[in-house]
């Protein structure tokens, strides 16, 4: 538990409002610093700063996936499709292993700058180095062996991906956890909604760069532009969090077993609200994964290529669809707090999944790009909700010393949901679609409906946010 500053003199207590929250509390004789985690409320700008690194880790994902496919398609590397699924598996495996371990070790870290910020900084630096390896893997291969550079190029491509995916998990897990650590419980939903806004904003930038072919207006090619923008975005967003998310040094001595034993025990003893929201979260990702993976390819293949139009133009329009959906993520995140206050958390989550399911059903049949834009954009509502509510619930019902571990375990459910969707929909249903992507996206409606039904099984923690009315949702 972070230490709390005290003063023996009589303190004239004041309620610290928005702007005053970012200053020290005034007393008769002195100024007393109140740790952020001990305050009743934080200003909107302080919360934004704490959440800023979320923009950074989403940038890592979008840059890596934006560069990976063109690099694997290049003549110098040209990796066959059968092996690409193994390469794509690096990301989920890194998340499955790294996030719980990062959470476990960061929970008890005694660094002077806090428990989470050292990992956030390390993850940012590692991600940038990984970007450079990814972009220059072909040149490195040629430098090592001019006669047969391909094996070396592939080797450094894999090294770059491992470095990037490990680093992004070093960044992602603490970026999530520091929100739960510092932001008061009464503002957890607000904080995670702002985090969802930043996730959407990062996707908007990256997808619009490709969708509108911004590189043609510069002296850079697409890959160079994405790399430079990605590095700048990561440095700026992480710096903001490091400067604004002031953590107190953790000094408690905790007797802890082997990390894998501790994670297993924590998994078995997870609070019931966390268990239930994790199951719902898993099905939410099963419904959303194929849209996340195949949207641009769906437009390029099903709407453009099969009608004799340019596939690359279709891919760019698919990126625009993802970008517009991400704009809705941001818009919905601003109103989500009010919606939950009006209709309750369970119904809000359930309606978002029903909207997603209803929008995905026609994707089996449509072949018009504007219809696809209209139907797929509302998926941003579901994305906004399931990227904020589960983490808010964990933040509301977890102890400080187990917060990071539980956040990491929650991510395991994300990885499992993504992989189940890849196996059931991507490999299973995909084998019978003759290369068409629409049935893959549309099949997600089944899991979205399941998630909607399970939403009424969610338990809202007893320590409810003051700004939200959860009376109708709370379990007796």
Q: What percent of the chain has pLDDT over 70?
A: 88
Instruction: Output the six-digit token pair for 4.
Output: 């709390």
> What pLDDT score was predicted for residue 472?
42
> What pLDDT score was predicted for residue 239?
96
Whether the pLDDT of residue 193 is over 60: the answer is yes
- Select the more confidently predicted residue: 14 or 187: 187
d(CA 182, CA 460): 20
Residues in the chain: 476
Q: Are 165 and 95 in contact (CB under 8 A)?
A: yes
3-state secondary structure (DSSP) of residue 25? strand
- 1.20.1250.20, 3.80.30.20, 3.40.1410.10, 3.40.50.970: which CATH number matches 36-256? 1.20.1250.20
pLDDT digits (tens, 9 = 90+) for 107-120: 888 888 888 999 99
Burial of 261 (0-12, 13-18, 19+ CB in 10 A): exposed
In terms of Cα–Cα distance, which of 322, 292, 294, 298 is closest to 311? 298
What values do phi and psi take at 80, rounded to 5? Answer: -60, 150
The secondary structure of residue 250, as a DSSP letter, is: P
d(CA 461, CA 160): 41
- Residue 242 pLDDT level (bands cut at 50, 70, 90): very high
pLDDT digits (tens, 9 = 90+) for 290-342: 898 788 888 888 898 877 778 778 888 888 898 899 889 888 888 888 888 89
- Residue 31 pLDDT level (bands cut at 50, 70, 90): low
Q: Write down the mean pLDDT value for the chain.
A: 82
pLDDT digits (tens, 9 = 90+) for 432-447: 888 788 899 999 999 9
DSSP H/E element including 430: none
> What pLDDT score was predicted for residue 2?
41
> What pLDDT score was predicted for residue 5?
44
**Averaged over 182-196, what is the pLDDT?**
85
Place of tokens 């690409």: 84
d(CA 72, CA 90): 15
> What pLDDT score was predicted for residue 351?
95
pLDDT digits (tens, 9 = 90+) for 452-469: 999 999 988 865 434 333
> What pLDDT score was predicted for residue 15?
42
Whether the pLDDT of residue 256 is over 80: the answer is no
> What pLDDT score was predicted for residue 462?
65
Place of tokens 């993976």: 293
d(CA 79, CA 87): 10
> What pLDDT score was predicted for residue 167?
94
Enumerate the β-bridge partners of residue 31. 26
Least confident of 55-69, 255-269, 290-304, 404-418: 255-269
Please report, for the chain, the start and end positions of each structural domain, with discontinuous segments joined by +.
Answer: 36-256, 269-462+469-476
Vertex 163: Cα angle to 162 and 165 (nearest 5): 65
Q: Are 121 and 243 in contact (CB under 8 A)?
A: no
In terms of Cα–Cα distance, which of 192, 104, 94 is closest to 409? 104
Q: Are 270 and 134 in contact (CB under 8 A)?
A: no
Select the highest-mean-pLDDT range: 163-167, 225-229, 461-465, 470-474: 163-167
DSSP symbols for 26-46: E-SS-EEPPPGGG-S---HHH
Enumerate the β-bridge partners of residue 32. 25
- Select the more confidently predicted residue: 454 or 33: 454
Place of tokens 């200003």: 43
Whether 36-256 shares its CATH topology with 269-462+469-476 is answered yes
d(CA 386, CA 372): 22
Whether the pLDDT of residue 241 is over 90: the answer is yes
> What pLDDT score was predicted for residue 463?
53
pLDDT digits (tens, 9 = 90+) for 264-286: 877 788 889 999 999 999 999 99
Whether the pLDDT of residue 379 is over 50: the answer is yes
> What pLDDT score was predicted for residue 474?
43
Q: Which CATH architecture has domain 269-462+469-476?
A: Up-down Bundle (1.20)
d(CA 89, CA 96): 11
Q: What percent of the chain has pLDDT over 90?
A: 29
> What pLDDT score was predicted for residue 29?
39
Whether the pLDDT of residue 197 is over 60: the answer is yes
> What pLDDT score was predicted for residue 208?
81
Q: Are 404 and 102 in contact (CB under 8 A)?
A: yes
């Amino acid at each position: 538990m972070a230490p709390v500053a005290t003063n023996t003199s009589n303190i004239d207590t004041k309620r610290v409002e928005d702007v005053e929250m970012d200053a020290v509390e005034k007393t008769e004789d002195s100024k007393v610093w109140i740790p952020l985690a001990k305050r009743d409320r934080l200003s909107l700008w302080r919360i934004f700063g704490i959440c800023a690194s979320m923009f950074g880790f989403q940038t890592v994902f979008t840059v890596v996936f934006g560069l990976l496919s063109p690099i694997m398609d290049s003549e110098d590397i040209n990796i066959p499709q059968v092996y690409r699924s193994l390469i794509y598996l690096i990301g989920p495996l890194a998340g499955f292993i790294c996030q719980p371990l990062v959470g476990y070790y960061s929970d008890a870290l005694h660094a002077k700058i806090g428990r989470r910020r050292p990992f956030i900084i390390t993850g940012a630096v590692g991600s940038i180095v990984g970007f450079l390896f990814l972009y220059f893997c072909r040149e490195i291969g040629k430098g090592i062996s001019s006669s047969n550079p391909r094996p070396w190029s592939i080797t450094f491509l894999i090294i770059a991906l491992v470095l990037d995916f490990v680093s992004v998990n070093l960044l992602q897990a603490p970026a999530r956890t520091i929100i739960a650590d510092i932001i008061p419980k009464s503002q957890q939903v607000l904080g995670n909604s702002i985090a969802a806004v930043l996730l959407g904003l990062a996707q908007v930038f990256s997808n619009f760069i490709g969708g509108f072919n911004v590189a043609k207006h510069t002296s850079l090619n697409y890959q160079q532009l994405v790399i430079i923008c990605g590095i700048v975005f990561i440095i700026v967003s992480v710096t903001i969090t490091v400067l604004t998310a002031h953590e107190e040094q953790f000094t408690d001595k905790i007797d802890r077993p082997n990390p894998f034993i501790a994670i297993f025990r924590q998994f078995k003893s997870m609070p019931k609200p966390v268990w239930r929201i994790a199951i719902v979260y898993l099905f939410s990702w099963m419904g959303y994964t194929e849209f996340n993976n195949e949207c641009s390819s769906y437009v390029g293949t099903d709407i453009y290529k099969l009608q004799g139009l340019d596939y690359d133009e279709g891919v760019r329009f698919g990126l625009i669809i993802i970008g517009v959906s991400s704009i809705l993520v941001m818009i919905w995140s601003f109103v989500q707090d009010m919606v939950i206050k009006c209709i309750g958390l369970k119904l809000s989550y359930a309606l978002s999944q029903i909207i997603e399911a209803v929008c995905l059903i026609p994707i089996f049949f449509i072949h018009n790009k504007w219809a696809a834009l209209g139907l797929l954009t509302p998926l941003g509502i579901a994305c906004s909700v399931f990227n904020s509510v589960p983490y808010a619930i964990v933040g509301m019902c977890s102890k400080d010393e187990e917060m990071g571990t539980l956040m990491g375990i929650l991510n395991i459910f994300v990885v499992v949901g993504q992989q189940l969707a890849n196996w059931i929909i991507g490999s299973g249903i995909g084998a019978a679609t003759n290369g068409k992507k629409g049935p893959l996206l549309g099949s997600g409606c089944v899991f979205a409906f399941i998630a909607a039904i399970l939403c009424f099984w969610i338990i809202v923690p007893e320590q409810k946010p003051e700004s939200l009315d959860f009376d109708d949702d709370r379990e007796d």
